[in-house]
A and B are shown apart, each in its own frame.
Chain A
Amino acid sequence: MIILDVQGFSKAFFVHHLQRHIPAFNEVDFRLHAGEFLLVRGVNGVGKSTLLRCLYRSYLPTAGQAIYHAHAGLIDLACAADVDIAALRRTEIGHVTQFLRARPRVSAIDVVTEPLLNQGQTRAQARQIAAEWLTAFGLKEDIWDAYPTTFSGGEQQKVNLVRALIVPRRLLLLDEPTASLDANARAALVTRLAQIKAQGVAMIGVFHHPEDVRDLVDGELHLTNTQVDYVAN
């Protein structure tokens, strides 16, 4: 089952005060099926994060299409209405960034249960599910009710990951999710990713240490400053 069909996908920024175009990536084509894992590679600044953000629509792509096969039908992520994108983010598409955007006075447990509460789960159910996840990632229980603004980088990243992965998704965009994690948490993450991949979740990931996810990768997308190569494993 196809999840995503990307063609001619391009992004350039235009910075008005410099009157300058900053090209990020150009004419990207690939196809992703349910349960597939696409690894995105390329040097710093080549546009890997920008590609994921354009698919999540934190950035507006400049050209091309990204036909996403939603539960309710086909939709082009490049030009879908904002409210449709917002709906997909709540239910089907997840984006795991490198850093948590901690909000003042929101506890770790509230950060990670929020997606469950938004889905209509009770507080007690949500807390129980969250507890399992936080334990799996090795976040110590004493700090679950504390504010992540005070956490170490690795602790924040664990909260970030749990928040992003706690509700089931059909498509996950992973931007260096292991960057600040210790070995145990990295292993826990890879185990979780393998589980959800087996459940049919499609993933596009950028990994600083690709060897972490070697066994999960089905295809690779090499971004270069001049061209894009898609290689199926």
Chain B
Amino acid sequence: MMTRPGLDHPRLVREVPLLQARGLCRRYGAITAIDGVDVSVYRGEVLGIVGESGSGKSTVLRLLNLEEPADAGTYYLDLPGYADQNLFTMDRYYRRQIQIRHIGIVYQNPYLGLRMRHTSSGNVAERLIMAGERNFATLRQAARGALSASEFPLERMDDLPIRLSGGMQQRVQLARALALRPMLLLLDEPTTGLDVSVQALVLDTLARIQRELQIATVIVSHDLGVIRALADRVMVMRHGRVIEHGLTDQILEDPQEAYTQQLVYAKL
């Protein structure tokens, strides 16, 4: 087999990536979920993660969302006042502050991301309350703004998420994730399980938000169409490691690894 020399370091792009994580490892008992994963994402950029079930994609997102500790690795976000801080070793209080203020996440399963017994607007407002906002009118206004930016039908903002369609639930999750204008957006299979037509609408919303807010986004999806539509670059994971990464069109049209070829050609 032919192996190419690796690619150069960036020369034209001089800015620092918003997100730089190195050597991420996570074990659950005897299972090594991820083993030495490097991730970097620039502002305004969308990084896609693909790979078979159990390859560690959601684990990477959970670590990046500071939900769980890493067994090894470093994690830096280029935020004012925090740029030199390995977030994994930071005090729990500050970690929580960063998670609330600067990171938004949307899960495939809305039960993970939403409180089903609170109204939709309440779910969004909760984010702002966690950040210290107490004024009811301000909360309501901000929740309305975030829901409308996610193209959620505002006449349903006082409904419980449990009564909403899957597409609407994902929009509530998105509004909640974006309510505080995070620097980093993490999307774990955000459109899986939705009807194809609803999926297209949610994708549209995601693409528009991405263009307007210039945030750094990491999206995990099984659906290569979703990846093609949204991602600038793609990482392919297998058995807890990144086996290949590149520009989205290059990974989809000229995959190098046997596993990636199988993944891509199976979908064509």
A in complex with B? yes
Within 8 A of B (CB), among A74-92: 75-76, 79-88
Decide yes or no whether B12 CB sits under 8 A from chain A.
Answer: yes
Chain B contacts for A151, CB-based, 8 A: none
B11:A106 contact, CB within 8 angstroms: no
Query: Assuming the A-B contacts A16-B258, A106-B204, are A84 and B12 also in contact, with contact meaning beta carbons closer than 8 angstroms in the complex?
Result: yes
Decide yes or no whether A72 CB sits under 8 A from chain B.
Answer: yes
A82:B246 contact, CB within 8 angstroms: yes
Interchain CA distance A104-B246 in the complex, whole Å: 24
List of 5 A-B pairs having minimum Cβ-Cβ separation, nearest first = A16-B258, A59-B254, A81-B10, A84-B12, A58-B249
B13:A62 contact, CB within 8 angstroms: no
Within 8 A of A (CB), among B230-268: 232-233, 245-247, 249-250, 253-254, 256-258, 261-262, 265
A85:B247 contact, CB within 8 angstroms: yes
The 11 sampled A-B contact pairs (Cβ below 8 Å) are A13-B254, A16-B257, A60-B254, A60-B256, A62-B2, A81-B7, A81-B13, A82-B246, A85-B247, A86-B45, A86-B232
User: Which residue on chain B has the smallest CB distance to residue A58?
Assistant: B249
Count of interface residues, chain B, beta-carbon cutoff 8 Å: 34
User: Which residue on chain B has the smallest CB distance to residue A117?
Assistant: B211
Query: Assuming the A-B contacts A12-B2, A58-B253, are A75 and B258 also in contact, with contact meaning beta carbons closer than 8 angstroms in the complex?
Result: no
Chain A contacts for B13, CB-based, 8 A: 81, 83-84, 87
User: Which residue on chain B has the smallest CB distance to residue A86?
Assistant: B232
Interchain CA distance A88-B12 in the complex, whole Å: 9
B45:A83 contact, CB within 8 angstroms: yes
Chain A contacts for B4, CB-based, 8 A: 60, 62
**Among candidates B6, B11, B200, B204, residue contacting A84 with C-beta atoms closer than 8 Å:** B11
Interchain CA distance A83-B20 in the complex, whole Å: 14
A residues engaging B (CB < 8 A)?
12-17, 21, 53, 57-60, 62, 70, 72-73, 75-76, 79-88, 103-106, 117-118
Chain B contacts for A15, CB-based, 8 A: 261
Query: Assuming the A-B contacts A70-B12, A79-B5, A104-B200, are A86 and B233 also in contact, with contact meaning beta carbons closer than 8 angstroms in the complex?
Result: yes
Interchain CA distance A14-B258 in the complex, whole Å: 9
B residues engaging A (CB < 8 A)?
1-2, 4-13, 42, 45, 200-201, 204, 211, 229, 232-233, 245-247, 249-250, 253-254, 256-258, 261-262, 265
Chain A contacts for B11, CB-based, 8 A: 73, 75, 80-81, 84
Chain A contacts for B201, CB-based, 8 A: 105
A83:B200 contact, CB within 8 angstroms: no
A138 to chain B, nearest CB (A): 28
Chain A contacts for B1, CB-based, 8 A: 14
In this complex, which of B6, B13, B245, B253 has the most chain A Cβ atoms within 10 angstroms of its Cβ? Answer: B13
Chain A contacts for B42, CB-based, 8 A: 83
**Among candidates B7, B45, B204, residue contacting A105 with C-beta atoms closer than 8 Å:** B204
A105:B250 contact, CB within 8 angstroms: no
Interchain CA distance A72-B13 in the complex, whole Å: 10
In this complex, which of B2, B257, B262 has the most chain A Cβ atoms within 10 angstroms of its Cβ? Answer: B2
B7:A82 contact, CB within 8 angstroms: yes
Chain B contacts for A85, CB-based, 8 A: 247
B2:A14 contact, CB within 8 angstroms: yes
A53:B253 contact, CB within 8 angstroms: yes
User: Which residue on chain B has the smallest CB distance to residue A88?
Assistant: B12
Chain B contacts for A118, CB-based, 8 A: 211
A83:B10 contact, CB within 8 angstroms: yes
Chain A contacts for B12, CB-based, 8 A: 70, 72-73, 75, 80, 84, 87-88
**Among candidates A13, A81, A105, residue contacting B8 with C-beta atoms closer than 8 Å:** A81
A65 to chain B, nearest CB (A): 11
A55 to chain B, nearest CB (A): 12
Interchain CA distance A84-B247 in the complex, whole Å: 10
User: Which residue on chain A has the smallest CB distance to residue B196?
Assistant: A104
Given A13-B254, A81-B10, A87-B13, 5 other A-B contacts at CB below 8 A?
A60-B254, A79-B7, A84-B8, A84-B10, A103-B229
